[in-house]
Chains A and B, each alone.
Chain A
Amino acid sequence: MTEPIVSVRNLVKHFPVRSRGVLRRRTGDVHAVCDVSFDIFAHETLGLVGESGCGKTTTGRVLLNLEPATAGSVHYRGRDLVPLSRAQMRPLRKELQIVFQDPYASLDPRMTVTELIAEPLRIHGTFHDRTQIHDLLRTVGLDAEHGNRYAHEFSGGQRQRIGVARALALRPKVLVLDEPLSALDVSVQAGVVNLLEDLQDELGLSYLFISHDLSVVRHIADRVAVMYLGRIVETAPADQLFREAAHPYTQALISAIPVPDPRKERTRRRIILSGDVPSPITPPTGCRFRTRCPKYATQLTDPERRRCAEETPTLTDRGQGHQTACHYAEALTLI
């Protein structure tokens, strides 16, 4: 088997919680990312999904060493990034880029599009002339004359293209895309999705595609990892995950996604979760999903439940790259 280009092992990220007042004593930790492991291969898209606050952005930022890890390792082409200083990271930055969610906030309004795209090139001393910028604009489907305008003169979809052009300027190998579509109207999202797919095919990029939109993820990702409260609870090739989800959380997630097909919607089975996501400061013992798990609530015996409460389920192989972290995992077809 080929070597992964990025290999994340047992990654942990805690944020301190401090008391109010002058002393600001450390009173606990937000367990944002807990023992997360995954690989990204060349020319592949790994989708990272899960609900708000489950730790997707933090995982992406720690992976790129924009945020120090509490524990664990991130190997990029064989080299661990976690212990590297800013200066040591610098030459690698070119190869590891990020595209942010909000195309409105992430572009400096005082710079023209040409300046925006040239900026990363200048920082890394690889800016030669304007044809580089024109090529990049063309790559993301914009015209050369767009270069003299300011970001606010563009629509959301065009701004997101500018963000992608900026990230591509340094010819990266790995792109972390953090909710790159969520600020866009659906008719516009489709164009950016197509663009990302084309760029991957042409340039052989690897993507970590972070999103809470499972429909987009099924479309774009080769493999998917599902996060809940800081942990990966299930991972599988995309089609397999949607066909045979085996973790109760993944199942609830899939069943909750509305499908734009009235006949299917009328007959679909919905798994409605009760309650809210617990606080990541005091996550439940054992399985973190147990406080909302329909299986735990209605299908298990007391001794079985005790196991969910006492023993943390770990990712267990179900074959064909499908792993599930549930003591009582059972495949279910929901779509």
Chain B
Amino acid sequence: MTLLSVENLTVGFPTEDGQLRAVRGVSYEVNRGESVGIVGESGSGKSVTSLAIMGLLPRNAQVTGSVKLLGEELVGRTDKDLSQIRGRRIAMIFQDPLTSLNPVYTVGDQIAEAVRAHHGVSKHDALRRATDLLDIVGIPNPKLRARNYPHEMSGGMRQRIVIAIAMANNPDLIIADEPTTALDVTVQAQVLEALEAARAETGAALVLITHDLGVIAGHTDRVCVMYAGKLVETGTVDEIFYGPRMPYTLGLLGSLPRIDESGRQRLTPITGAPPSLLNLPPGCPFSPRCPMTRDRCDDVEPVLTATTGPDHRAACHFHTELAEAKAEDVF
């Protein structure tokens, strides 16, 4: 069943140099309980897309298109409406946990507060539930830790507090934007484990935004690859990793050093940088960096089309040529 449906979402920002087209027609769906990963280079529009879904963009942002949560349209709603929906149905986890925590309350009180807002229980029961939630997200000595203030905790612990609060809210959807980017790997593993625990407990669907393809591989069912404000490939996690049909995706995978492979195989970098979103030329935005580019690529921007299956889609005129292709042969 479709939980979230995003249709032809666009976001523009007026700037001194003209309109910056941060999101240029993004459509995707999230089903109940599933996990969708969004990957892409810095500046590709991952955060702006999810902020638009949540209605959290600055006022000068120009948003068009449609975002439906369980059939209910969110674009164009008042801030008051949206903040209610956010609290009730969608939880957002940002890279910096301090943006979501209140410095003057203990973490136990903050979790208990969320518990009480959703279940009419006594203060005492709410605090007990808060301690349970701290335990579920893997905080040692939860009873003691509940009395700490956010600044008394490490970054990884704070992020797990944010996840515990999200759990207390019992949301249908969790949107996590680079939740582990600033953290060390062993701490990242703790936080991802907490996120999985939260999903198991609440049955919430997850939109996981990250530039780490390893995290995507381990924690999502489907993947959207973003480039220059558009989705350029979507599919199941296996389709994307084992049979990419967009040169950018293939290049990204080929550029990764692997901890599970020995030796100095040459990596295949993608040369150049993503285009400016201010004056995008016509055609495929990846064309200037694409080793397969030809005239048609600079004339016509490719749209997402079905490749190996109806749900494995890629935005490349020549996607059929990528069947069985290896990054080192193409790049």
* A interface residues, Cβ below 8 angstroms from B: 51-52, 155, 157, 185-191, 193-194, 197, 212, 214-216, 218-220, 238-239, 242, 252-266, 268, 270, 272-276, 335
CB distance from B289 to the nearest CB of A (A): 8
Contact among B157, B218, B264 for A258, CB-based, below 8 A: B218
By the criterion CB–CB under 8 Å, are A256 and B186 in contact? yes
Instruction: Give complex CA distance A264, B156 in Å.
Output: 25
CB distance from A310 to the nearest CB of B (A): 23
In the bound complex, residues from chain B placing their C-beta under 8 Å from that of A193 are 257, 267
**B269 in the interface (beta carbon within 8 A):** yes
Instruction: Give complex CA distance A262, B240 in Å.
Output: 10
* Interface residues in B162-192 (C-beta closer than 8 Å to A): 184-190
Q: List 12 interface pairs A-B (beta carbons < 8 Å), by A numbering.
A: A188-B270, A190-B257, A216-B257, A218-B261, A242-B259, A258-B212, A259-B258, A260-B256, A262-B242, A265-B214, A272-B190, A273-B186
By the criterion CB–CB under 8 Å, are B259 and A215 in contact? yes
By the criterion CB–CB under 8 Å, are B256 and A186 in contact? yes
Chain A's closest residue to B188 (CB) is: A256
Contact among B41, B140, B190, B237 for A187, CB-based, below 8 A: B41
By the criterion CB–CB under 8 Å, are B215 and A258 in contact? yes
In the bound complex, residues from chain B placing their C-beta under 8 Å from that of A270 are 189, 193
**B27 in the interface (beta carbon within 8 A):** no
By the criterion CB–CB under 8 Å, are B185 and A215 in contact? no
Closest 8 CB pairs of A and B: A258-B214, A191-B269, A265-B218, A219-B257, A190-B269, A190-B255, A190-B267, A256-B189
By the criterion CB–CB under 8 Å, are B267 and A219 in contact? yes
Tell me whether A186 and B255 are in contact in the complex, defined as CB-CB below 8 angstroms, given that A262-B237, A276-B157 are known contacts.
Answer: yes
In the bound complex, residues from chain B placing their C-beta under 8 Å from that of A242 are 259, 262
By the criterion CB–CB under 8 Å, are A274 and B217 in contact? no
**B213 in the interface (beta carbon within 8 A):** yes
The CB with the most chain B CB atoms within 10 A, among A51, A185, A187, A218, is that of: A187
Chain A's closest residue to B157 (CB) is: A276
**B73 in the interface (beta carbon within 8 A):** no
CB distance from B17 to the nearest CB of A (A): 16
**B57 in the interface (beta carbon within 8 A):** no
Chain A's closest residue to B153 (CB) is: A276
Contact among A185, A218, A220 for B42, CB-based, below 8 A: A185
Chain A's closest residue to B259 (CB) is: A215
* B interface residues, Cβ below 8 angstroms from A: 41-42, 138, 140, 154, 156-157, 184-190, 193, 211-218, 237-238, 241-242, 251-264, 266-271, 273
In the bound complex, residues from chain B placing their C-beta under 8 Å from that of A51 are 184-187
In the bound complex, residues from chain B placing their C-beta under 8 Å from that of A266 are 218
Instruction: Give complex CA distance A264, B258 in Å.
Output: 12
In the bound complex, residues from chain B placing their C-beta under 8 Å from that of A197 are 264
In the bound complex, residues from chain A placing their C-beta under 8 Å from that of B187 are 51, 276
Chain A's closest residue to B185 (CB) is: A256
In the bound complex, residues from chain A placing their C-beta under 8 Å from that of B260 are 259, 261, 264, 335
By the criterion CB–CB under 8 Å, are B138 and A272 in contact? yes
CB distance from B162 to the nearest CB of A (A): 17
The CB with the most chain A CB atoms within 10 A, among B41, B217, B241, B252, is that of: B217
Contact among B184, B217, B257, B263 for A261, CB-based, below 8 A: B217
By the criterion CB–CB under 8 Å, are B238 and A263 in contact? yes
Chain A's closest residue to B272 (CB) is: A155
In the bound complex, residues from chain A placing their C-beta under 8 Å from that of B213 are 186, 260
Instruction: Give complex CA distance A259, B214 in Å.
Output: 4
By the criterion CB–CB under 8 Å, are A219 and B258 in contact? yes
CB distance from A292 to the nearest CB of B (A): 8
Chain B's closest residue to A52 (CB) is: B184
Chain A's closest residue to B182 (CB) is: A52
In the bound complex, residues from chain A placing their C-beta under 8 Å from that of B262 are 218, 238-239, 242
By the criterion CB–CB under 8 Å, are A155 and B267 in contact? no
In the bound complex, residues from chain A placing their C-beta under 8 Å from that of B218 are 258-259, 262, 265-266, 268
In the bound complex, residues from chain A placing their C-beta under 8 Å from that of B190 are 272-274
Instruction: Give complex CA distance A216, B41 in Å.
Output: 18
The CB with the most chain B CB atoms within 10 A, among A255, A262, A270, A273, is that of: A262
By the criterion CB–CB under 8 Å, are A187 and B255 in contact? yes
CB distance from A281 to the nearest CB of B (A): 15
Tell me whether A252 and B266 are in contact in the complex, defined as CB-CB below 8 angstroms, given that A185-B41, A187-B252, A258-B212 are known contacts.
Answer: no
Contact among B154, B261, B273 for A155, CB-based, below 8 A: B273
By the criterion CB–CB under 8 Å, are B193 and A188 in contact? no
By the criterion CB–CB under 8 Å, are B267 and A257 in contact? no
